[in-house]
Amino acid sequence: MDVIEAMETCSAARYLKPDPVPQDLIERVIYAATRASSPGNSQEWDFIVVRNPETKRKIRDLLAPRFKAMAVGLPTTGRAPSKMIAGAMHLAETINEAPAIIFVCGPVAYPPNQPLEQFVWSALYPAAQNLIVAARSLGLGTTFTTFHMFMESEIRDLLGIPQEIKLGVMIPIGWPQNDFVKVKRKPISSVIHWDKWSD
């Protein structure tokens, strides 16, 4: 699959089948993730792949009530339409049924002489984007989430993540229940500024 086609059809897959994903495919998308750029080629990223059913159930039990409470206050028009909220709620309530949940994380380690937190995000987010595009090219569905923010201390305890490791993205991965569709984005004419900022 052409990489642009993968990108433009990499819609969030919030409805996943419980069918297992072979380990070699998970390793393949993580391989793609580690092809991403990182500050000074530091490659300071780690990937926790959660497949254990009991661990996934505990994640669901932590997440679902907290996300539901937060979702009550979200607007149902504009950038957070009701369909998107319903999909996110479904994912939160059934995330344990995803074959795997991948946490993209890493330490604050760059530059070596005076590490700054902003540099870890500039490594973790490109890696996560590579991962979800690679998954799409293999027919796998993913969703780029920050669900872990609702329960970070509990996630750390559950997965044994040291405090110095920053949690960047939480990505459920599996075979999608629905067909991939083209993502809806603004026209590039509304976001390009040639040579200088312009209204």
Q: Can you read off the two tokens belonging to residue 81?
A: 């339409």
Alpha-carbon gap, residue 37 to 124, rounded angstroms:
9
In the predicted structure, residue 125 carries a pLDDT above the cut 80: yes
Look at residue 83 in the predicted model and tell me its pLDDT: 83
Look at residue 56 in the predicted model and tell me its pLDDT: 99
Pick from 129, 170, 168, 142: which is nearest to 37 by CA?
129
Pick from 104, 113, 100, 112: which is nearest to 19 by CA?
100
Q: How far, in Å, are 25, 73, 164, 176, 186 from residue 19 at the CA level?
A: 13, 34, 34, 10, 35
In the predicted structure, residue 16 carries a pLDDT above the cut 70: yes
pLDDT in tens, 172-197: 999 999 999 999 999 999 999 999 99
Pick from 23, 18, 104: which is nearest to 57 by CA?
18
Q: Can you read off the two tokens belonging to residue 99?
A: 């074959």
Look at residue 84 in the predicted model and tell me its pLDDT: 85
Averaged pLDDT score across all residues of the chain: 95
Is the Cβ–Cβ distance between 136 and 182 less than 8 Å?
Answer: no
pLDDT in tens, 91-120: 999 999 999 999 999 999 999 999 999 999
Is the Cβ–Cβ distance between 67 and 92 less than 8 Å?
Answer: yes
Look at residue 101 in the predicted model and tell me its pLDDT: 99
High-pLDDT (> 70) share of the chain, %: 97
In the predicted structure, residue 17 carries a pLDDT above the cut 80: yes
Q: Can you read off the two tokens belonging to residue 27?
A: 């390793």
CATH T-level topology, domain 3-52+98-182? NADH Oxidase (3.40.109)
Task: Tell me the average pLDDT across 119-147.
Answer: 98
Alpha-carbon gap, residue 144 to 128, rounded angstroms:
8
pLDDT in tens, 47-86: 999 999 999 999 999 999 998 888 877 776 666 577 888 8
State pTM to two decimals: 0.94
Strands (DSSP E) contained in 1-40 are: none
Look at residue 72 in the predicted model and tell me its pLDDT: 79
Alpha-carbon gap, residue 120 to 168, rounded angstroms:
9
Look at residue 77 in the predicted model and tell me its pLDDT: 67
Please give the residue that has the higher pLDDT: either 69 or 158.
158
